[in-house]
A and B are shown apart, each in its own frame.
Chain A
Amino acid sequence: MSGDMTYILAGWGVTLATLGVFALSLAVRGRRLSRMVPAERRRWTS
């Protein structure tokens, strides 16, 4: 493994971790809001 691998893994790690956390936050926000809204107002479920 070359010395550059630290930078490579940091770049990929930051990207995948950030996207994963953002996707997870969307899922959590969606679940919380879904409980407040009747099913007929959630168009993608009808």
Chain B
Amino acid sequence: MTTPHTAASTPPPTDPHAPDPPTTGVAAPAHTGSSATRTLGLVTLAAMALLVFLAFVASPRDQVQGDLVRLLYIHPALAWTAYLACGVATTASIWHLVKKTPGSDVLAHSAVEVGAVLTALTLATGSIWGRPTWGVYWVWDARLTSTALLFLLLLGYLALHRIDAAPEVRSRRAAVVGVLLVPNVVLVHQSVEWWRTLHQDPTLARRDFDFATSDLFMFTLVYSVVVMSLVFTWLLIHRFRVGWLALQAEELWLDTAIEARRAEGAGTTEPAETTRTEPPRSEGGLP
């Protein structure tokens, strides 16, 4: 959504095909992965495979919903991780407004982008489940409408982060929207309690829910939340690293441009080409 397209279309600060400079004797990989994230990715893939097995093979048909219950092994988990993303985004946004650190802005922006994808999937899977259950893909129910508003808020954050303004200005404005995400999540979650809605009440948050006596349906439901949380963690780490790299590329471009301008002012060299091009736009903004 916020791919630094300008970074790809302008001369990079360093040769993109040049080998990485040596660091501590170990060649640094040219990607956002690390041994920890690779392990996390493998664990997540294995956990997802087990979830698919539980959802489609091991879990029986529900007496009321029939096979449609298999959609519930993904839809509530997506909603939960969307909430989680909003929580991270709001926390990082508050941190950014207070401390103005570049990392907090990159984290908030990353969480919002991942959260937008998860919220869109929550809406999509909910609509697909609603068609055979309610007879319609969409109804202006309180839960659905508030979730759609949350999605629009996430898109608004991403749009604000792309406005043509100074990096610190757009980061600050986006952070203000980021602060509003958790209150909106509370509205989404409580909508089934505060209004009479078509959407059912919370299942896992019921006070009388007993994990000890739960059947395979409940186990798979809880397990799906764990799996999607792993997916969210992997996506957030990698999205954060992408944002961090974009920030570093922007700073490197700025350093190069300043040096070129100084050299131009001193009359020692010809004007550098980089002074006439757009900078590689950061995904997180400058500090």
- Contacts of B1-34 to chain A: CB distance below 8 A: 3-4, 7-8, 12-14, 16-18, 20-24, 28-34
B155 to chain A, nearest CB (A): 15
Partner of B68, one of A4, A23, A41, A46: A4
CB distance B132 to A7 under 8 Å?
A: yes
Question: What residues of chain B lie closer than 8 Å to A37, measured between beta carbons?
Answer: 14, 245, 248-249, 252
Partner of A11, one of B129, B248, B249: B129
What is the CA–CA distance of A36 and B33 in the complex, to the nearest angstrom?
A: 16
A15 to chain B, nearest CB (A): 5
CB distance A11 to B128 under 8 Å?
A: yes
Interface residues on A, range: 35 or more
The interface bits of chain A over 34-46 (1 if a CB of B lies within 8 angstroms of the residue's CB, else 0) are 1111111111111
**Known pairs A4-B68, A12-B74, A19-B231; A35 contacts B121 (CB<8 A):** no
Q: Quick check: is B71 within 8 A (CB to CB) of the other chain?
A: yes
Partner of B28, one of A5, A23, A29, A46: A46
Q: Quick check: is B117 within 8 A (CB to CB) of the other chain?
A: yes
Partner of B245, one of A4, A36, A40: A36
Partner of A4, one of B3, B12, B120, B132: B132
CB distance A22 to B235 under 8 Å?
A: yes
A21 to chain B, nearest CB (A): 10
CB distance A11 to B245 under 8 Å?
A: no
What is the CA–CA distance of A30 and B75 in the complex, to the nearest angstrom?
A: 29
Question: What residues of chain A lie closer than 8 Å to B78, measured between beta carbons?
Answer: 15
- Contacts of B228-269 to chain A: CB distance below 8 A: 231, 234-235, 238-239, 241-242, 244-246, 248-249, 252
A27 to chain B, nearest CB (A): 7
Most chain B beta carbons < 10 A, residue from A8, A14, A40: A8
Q: Which residue of B lies closest to A27 (CB)?
A: B31
Q: Which residue of A lies closest to B236 (CB)?
A: A26
Q: Which residue of B lies closest to A21 (CB)?
A: B117
**Known pairs A23-B238, A25-B3, A44-B241; A11 contacts B125 (CB<8 A):** yes
B277 to chain A, nearest CB (A): 14
CB distance B68 to A42 under 8 Å?
A: no
CB distance A33 to B249 under 8 Å?
A: yes
**Known pairs A4-B67, A29-B3, A33-B249; A11 contacts B75 (CB<8 A):** yes
A residues within 8 Å of B by Cβ?
2-5, 7-8, 10-12, 14-15, 18-19, 22-23, 25-27, 29-46
A-B pairs, 9 with minimum CB distance? A30-B32, A39-B28, A33-B245, A45-B28, A35-B16, A36-B12, A34-B30, A11-B128, A37-B248
A22-B235, A23-B234, A37-B14 known; 4 new pairs, CB 8 Å cut-off, are A2-B66, A4-B67, A8-B70, A33-B7
A-B contact pairs, 19 of them (CB 8 A): A3-B132, A4-B132, A11-B74, A11-B75, A14-B128, A15-B74, A26-B235, A26-B242, A27-B32, A30-B33, A30-B242, A33-B4, A35-B14, A36-B14, A36-B249, A36-B280, A37-B248, A42-B248, A44-B37
